[in-house]
Amino acid sequence: MYNTEMSITWAISIGLSTLLAYFFKNLYRQRMLVKTLIKQGLPVAPNHNFLFGHLLYLKRFSDAMPKGAHFQYMFSDIYQESFQDGGVFYLDMWPLSPLFLAVVSPTTATSVTQTNSKIYARKPDLLPKLFKPLAGGPNLFDMPEVEWKPWRATFSKCFSNEHFMYLVPGIVEQTLVYCETLRRHAEMGDTFFLDTMTIRFTMDIIGKTILNSELGAQRGYNPLADCMISQMRWQQPNGDINPFSLIHLPRFFMQWLNGRRMDSYIGPELDKRFREHRASPPDSKKNKAIIDLLLQAYSPNSEATPNQEETMDPEFRLFAIRQIRMFVFAGHDSTSSAITYCFHLLSRHPKALQRLRAEHDETYGMDISSVASKLLANPALANGLLYTTAVIKEALRLFPPASSSRQGTTGVEITDDRGMVCPTEGAVVWVNHQAMHRAPKYWVRPDDFLPERWLVSPDHELYPMKGAWRPFENGPRNCIGQGLVMMELRIVLSLTVREFLFEDAYEEFDARGGRKGIKNYKGERAFQIDEGAAHPAEYYPCKVKLNV
């Protein structure tokens, strides 16, 4: 008995010592790497500490921010405080995350995502872990370059301008449901969470685009929509810089359960469509929903006769489910945030709202109830809305819902605005859209909402600098859905801004015990939080009135 206890104690001691030795070896290696970068005079964030890296330094920034604010703001503040000249800097948060190499300079960002072929398609090694709960496994967003390329080409067919015209009726139909709900809120005069409501709306739109089916998320429960929404709520906020998300049992369980439920929804839908495709191949011109493209790619030259029983290869079936889950996530999440911020900014800028409405009066006529039928008759009508497009671009500049990152590697170096050459090996190279879009070095009046900057001629001081606006990122791995987003937003604004007036209800929310402590980031109460995409804090409590 005594001997057994001794053996267990020894085994635990040896195990712990090995773990500690492993930890300290990696700590030493990581910190020495950063020390070398400092010695070479490279742009490393100040106050680096051998034990804590930059974690103590970061605390100063995070303490000055509202709880839960998106971690991109910390990087933005560090940039503003110390790195405006070069626009690139290293930050060491090990063991919370790998070394970060933050890029704020548009010129450097262009080299990372557009011109350097050794890195432009190389997603970070940590990305699959972050995406696993959402997609269930490897997907277009996080795939290595070789597998990604042919699939990108396949899925691009869903995102051609020609195909968008087939999507317009579905978008209009769902926007009318969204308007009905807004009207009900206007009648009741209640406070509701606009972002939460908008998430269900964009979920319905993406259901059409991806599955070519009605999810009905705006009207009630849908297993796919609700499990995906729950999955995002269960995501560890700021997970990119926090590995402890894995050590949270309820989260682990809920994400596993949601994943199973989503798979159980998509799987049978896929099987049904597969049988339909086998029985009579659909018109490939019109049927370009992601699910159809997957099935067309699966057996384009199959010799099976139409009525022959055939089942899908289980491996391909799983692959297809993962792609669909990823598209459902990527296709609704950022878009809902963009819509909410458009309404937020317009509520704060009555002159811009007035000009927007005037453009819609001119394009659609004064009868607002006829907009839907006009769009259905001529789906391209919204494309001519120049000021509307400028409003959307400006909202995406001020509140970019996403950002972009690549895996640094041996032999790949990037150059900052001062000409400093920075090695990327072992680092996550992170193009921080939020910091770039608000940088005084690249934008005139960066914090002001000025849609007109998108309409002025190149000699005007407001004319945007080339490459400094990248909410969808640029380069071969840019956002595949950006054309759809712009069209969706133009249609949504066309059907709403002349009928409704939004007003945020943060004051009421806070008075009822909502948020304690620091409430604003740089004076903005609707600051961004990390929840999948960057969403407005507390999901934007607001009231809506009819514009009578």
Q: Residue of minimal CB distance from ligand HEM?
A: 481
Is there binding between residue 479 and ligand HEM (CB under 6 A)?
yes
CB of 494 to ligand HEM, least distance (A): 17
Which residue's entry shows tokens 């500690």? 20
Contact 317, 267 (CB under 8 A): yes
CB of 509 to ligand HEM, least distance (A): 25
Among 325, 397, 477, 498, binds ligand HEM (CB under 6 A): 477
- From the list 87-95, 313-321, 396-404, 450-458, the region that binds ligand HEM by CB under 6 A is 396-404
- SS3 for 94? coil
Which residue's entry shows tokens 């999948």? 532
CB of 310 to ligand HEM, least distance (A): 29
* 332: nearest Cα among 196, 219, 155: 196
479 annotated as belonging to a binding site for a ligand: yes
Which residue's entry shows tokens 């997609």? 135
Closer CB to ligand HEM, 72 or 334, in the complex: 334
Interacting residues with ligand HEM between 303 and 362 (CB under 6 A):
327, 330-331, 334-335, 338
* 256: nearest Cα among 136, 131, 141: 136
Q: What are phi and psi of 212, to 5 degrees?
A: 55, 45
Is there binding between residue 404 and ligand HEM (CB under 6 A)?
yes
- From the list 42-50, 85-93, 171-179, 474-482, the region that binds ligand HEM by CB under 6 A is 474-482
Closer CB to ligand HEM, 123 or 185, in the complex: 123
Interacting residues with ligand HEM between 240 and 299 (CB under 6 A):
none
Q: What are phi and psi of 95, to 5 degrees?
A: -90, 5
Structure-token pair, residue 114: 């557009």
Interacting residues with ligand HEM between 192 and 251 (CB under 6 A):
206, 209
Q: What is the crossing angle of helices 127-135 and 314-348, to 10°?
A: 100
- SS3 for 160? coil
Closer CB to ligand HEM, 30 or 336, in the complex: 336
Contact 83, 104 (CB under 8 A): yes
Integer-rounded Cα radius of gyration of the chain: 25
Provide the 8-state DSSP code for 124.
-
Hey, how many other C-beta atoms are within 10 angstroms of the C-beta on 269? 17
Closer CB to ligand HEM, 53 or 331, in the complex: 331
Is there binding between residue 535 and ligand HEM (CB under 6 A)?
no
4 contact partners, CB below 8 Å, separation of at least 6:
none
CB of 369 to ligand HEM, least distance (A): 28
Q: What are the residue ranges of helices labelled H in 212-289?
A: 223-234, 249-279
Interacting residues with ligand HEM between 128 and 157 (CB under 6 A):
140-141, 152
Count residues near ligand HEM (CB under 6 A).
26
CB of 406 to ligand HEM, least distance (A): 7
Is there binding between residue 172 and ligand HEM (CB under 6 A)?
no
As annotated, the binding site for heme includes: 479
* Interface residues toward ligand HEM, by CB under 6 A: 113, 140-141, 152, 206, 209, 327, 330-331, 334-335, 338, 401-402, 404, 471-473, 475, 477-481, 484-485
